[in-house]
Amino acid sequence: MRILTAGESHGPQLTAIIEGLPSQLPIDKSLINAELKRRQGGHGRGRRMVIETDQVQIVSGVRHGKTTGAPVTLVIENRDWKNWTSIMTSDPIENPDEVKKQVTKPRPGHADLNGGLKYNHRDMRNVLERSSARETAMRVAIGAIAKQFLSHFGIDVAGRVINIGGVVDTETVPESIEELKERTENSPVRCLDKKAEEKMINVIDEAKKNGDSIGGVVEVIVNNVPAGLGSFAHYDRKLDAKIAMSVLSINAFKGVEFGIGFDAANRPGSEVHDEILWNEEEGYTRRTNRLGGFEGGMTTGMPIVVRGVMKPIPTLYKPLQSVDINTKEPFSASIERSDSCAVPAASVVCEHVVALEIAKAVSDKFAGDYLEEKIASFEAYKKHLLNF
Ligand SMILES: Cc1cc2nc3c(=O)[nH]c(=O)nc-3n(C[C@H](O)[C@H](O)[C@H](O)COP(=O)(O)O)c2cc1C
Ligand SMILES: C=C(O[C@@H]1CC(C(=O)O)=C[C@@H](OP(=O)(O)O)[C@H]1O)C(=O)O
């Protein structure tokens, strides 16, 4: 599967092309829109989310509700475009007043300065438009199609928030993924524990009041993954590595761990590795899942448990030292519209980027140009797993 996204945050639209989906895959647009709505929510989001009501348009590759095997093109319009048309389109030479609106004050923590230096943009709007996490709306739409594909293989993906600004949700994940979904859906910060939820909301409100921002940790769980997705044979076929790359590609994500993750450094091997069991109904299973579903770049058949840490949002109302690239003078940050915490939204994004990597791995392993052909290959492999 190959995927390309394009589009500026305040341009007319986001676009994606997905190539390599099998034909005959039913696509339910309302399920994609429901995921887009989930991404727009969460306590701590800024005013932009009041303007946008993200809806996907499918403009190629799907006919009568099913993929044809041709590239699928998705479009999400930016409602905010109408408020930015002049800034986005006026020529600064013809309209010198527009020069005043150029972005010359880079924000520490955002892509502004490095992007300006690299691409020689003295108006760093040319950087921020594309480095904006607006792009994650399209990543969710693509991931929502990946989830629909995975549902035919019984694979289910869900996510939650486990830390905001140091307030940790220590509640264990319920065994039923449906229960996990329902409980996090009813939380404005997408966590499980109600006491932690209240504290997380307070931490976000406090940060906002102080002109500051706050980050956190999200967790994604993937159930019913067969053993053997990915490969040990070459570095760029290791599925845990691909997932790690995808999680780190989410704006503001700075670290990834699987299962007990970094805590593995503090334990002896006997308290890290997952003992192997066998029974007739399930074949090979594990006594524990401390490695989060991966050994040797391949799935073990246990649930995948992956976490990502998001740094606090860079755009602050409280000034941080920076330099105007024209005057070279220090400045105090001007007040701009921004999220104060986007960790709950990012947990939805994380679910979808992980879903896409799993979908690619399933699609690679189970041959077929149409869905039923892939399912037949998957069923044969499941028999092999039981007979091995
Ligand atoms: C869902 C989401 C919403 C975000 N909203 C904002 C925002 O409102 N303001 C901001 O400065 N950064 C926001 N960010 C983070 C920036 O996009 C990110 O820090 C920037 O692209 C620089 O990339 P890096 O932090 O990965 O180095 C958001 C990130 C995500 C995932
Ligand atoms: C538009 C989205 O998030 C944006 C991500 C973002 C950034 O710098 O990453 C900055 C803000 O953009 P704006 O300045 O237009 O308010 C967020 O609103 C979105 O999530 O759909």
Name which residue sits closest to atom 18 of ligand 2, judged by CA.
48
DSSP symbols for 22-48:
PBT-B--HHHHHHHHHHHH-STT--TH
Distance 337 CA to ligand 2 centre (A): 8
- Specify the pLDDT at position 292: 98
* Ligand 2 probe mutation, 9, 36, 313, most atoms within 8 A of CB: 9
Q: Locate the ligand 2 atom nearest the alpha carbon of residue 45 and give its number.
A: 18
Provide the domain limits for residue 34. 2-387
Instruction: Supply the angle between the helices 239-248 and 343-365 in degrees, to the nearest 10.
Output: 150
Model confidence band, residue 200 (pLDDT cutoffs 50, 70, 90):
very high
What is the four-CA torsion angle of 285, 287, 290, 293, rounded to 10 degrees?
10
* 313 in a labelled binding site: yes
In contact, 71 and 23? CB cutoff 8 Å: no
* 58 in a labelled binding site: no
What is the ipTM for the molecules in this complex?
Answer: 0.99
Q: Is the CB of 218 under 6 A from ligand 1?
A: no
Model confidence band, residue 336 (pLDDT cutoffs 50, 70, 90):
low
- Specify the pLDDT at position 193: 96
- Specify the pLDDT at position 319: 78
Model confidence band, residue 333 (pLDDT cutoffs 50, 70, 90):
low
pLDDT in tens, 138-197: 999 999 999 999 999 999 999 999 999 999 999 999 989 999 999 999 999 999 999 999
Q: How many domains does the chain have?
A: 1
pTM of structure: 0.97
| Strands of 133-197, DSSP E | 156-164, 167-168
Cα–Cα distance, 320 to 18 (Å, whole number)? 40
Within 13 Å, how many C-alpha atoms sit on residue 57's CB side?
8
Q: Which of the ligands is closest to the CA of residue 345?
A: 1
* 39 in a labelled binding site: yes
* 314 in a labelled binding site: yes
Query: What percentage of residues in the chain have a pLDDT greater than 70?
Result: 99
- Specify the pLDDT at position 135: 98
Distance 244 CA to ligand 1 centre (A): 18
- Specify the pLDDT at position 232: 98
pLDDT in tens, 120-134: 999 999 999 999 999
Q: Locate the ligand 2 atom nearest the alpha carbon of residue 137 and give its number.
A: 21
What is the average pLDDT across 14-41?
98
Contacts of 266 (CB under 8 A, 6+ apart): none
Q: What is the CATH number of the domain that holds 195?
A: 3.60.150.10
Q: Is the pLDDT of residue 332 over 90?
A: no
